[in-house]
Amino acid sequence: MKIVKLGRVQYQPTLEAMQAFTAARQAHTADELWICEHPPTFTEGISSRSQHLLATVDIPIVRTDRGGQITYHGPGQVVAYPLVDLRRSGYFVKEYVFRIEEALIRSLGVWGVTGHRVRGAPGIYVRPEDPGAHSRLTPSSAGAAPDFSGLGKIAALGIKVSRHCTYHGVALNVGMDLAPFELINPCGYAGLRTVDLSTIGVTIAWEEAAAQLAARLQSALSP
């Protein structure tokens, strides 16, 4: 998988570039992993509902074709877009999501932070009051609403699959202004707390966080 470092780029042109790459790729086209950062932008998934935007905002809102609800991108957040041919890689969408989450968990582990999955709520969560704790979360029963007690969301995930090929991806909060998250129900969950690495005591340069996540995604998404 080729890693492409885009730097800080506008969201809409990047989305259009991903769509064009995916539409044009052939069976022999190499997978790529785009790493970037966006200026302040709210993005809505295909199932997003207007009530999850809680206030009038002067930040651009972009409607997208990814799954999920509304989220926020901004400076200090590492955004990774894996452009993967799942048919060639040999695994299905559910495992693809699992592999992305595993790369996030392993990246957080480098900094002594324990990442957690929550049933029914894609993404990775941490215990802000005890980010290095290894005790398991209390499992929720199948069909029950996700339980975010004592948790903060540190990484959001939203994907699109077209002709067995993926785009969109994952966002890891490193050191950012978290105030815009208070203007939405993040990923459609009222009251869900959003955190970043700096909030839980990890001070790290954006470039280092990006390199760690890129390397682990490159490994986790191998065939």
CATH of 2-132+151-220, one of 3.40.50.300, 3.30.1340.30, 3.30.930.10, 3.40.50.150: 3.30.930.10
3 state SS for 190-217: CCCCECCCCCCCCCCCHHHHHHHHHHHH
The 10s digit of each residue's pLDDT in 10-47 is 999 999 999 999 999 999 999 999 999 999 999 999 88
The 10s digit of each residue's pLDDT in 50-74 is 888 888 889 999 999 998 889 999 9
Of 79, 44, 98, the residue nearest 167 (C-alpha): 79
- Is 187 tagged catalytic? yes
Average pLDDT, the chain: 93
* Distance between CA atoms of residues 153 and 144, nearest Å: 19
- CB contact at 8 A, 34 and 1: no
Q: What is the pLDDT of residue 187?
A: 82
The 10s digit of each residue's pLDDT in 183-202 is 998 888 888 999 999 999 99
Selecting among 100, 154, 187, 209, the annotated active-site residue is 187
pTM confidence score:
0.94
Of 167, 156, 157, 155, the residue nearest 33 (C-alpha): 167
Q: What is the pLDDT of residue 190?
A: 85
Of 77, 79, 80, 70, the residue nearest 33 (C-alpha): 80
Q: Which residue ranges make up each domain of the chain?
A: 2-132+151-220
The 10s digit of each residue's pLDDT in 84-120 is 999 999 999 999 999 999 999 999 999 999 999 998 8
The 10s digit of each residue's pLDDT in 40-49 is 999 999 887 8
Of 47, 43, 34, 45, the residue nearest 84 (C-alpha): 34
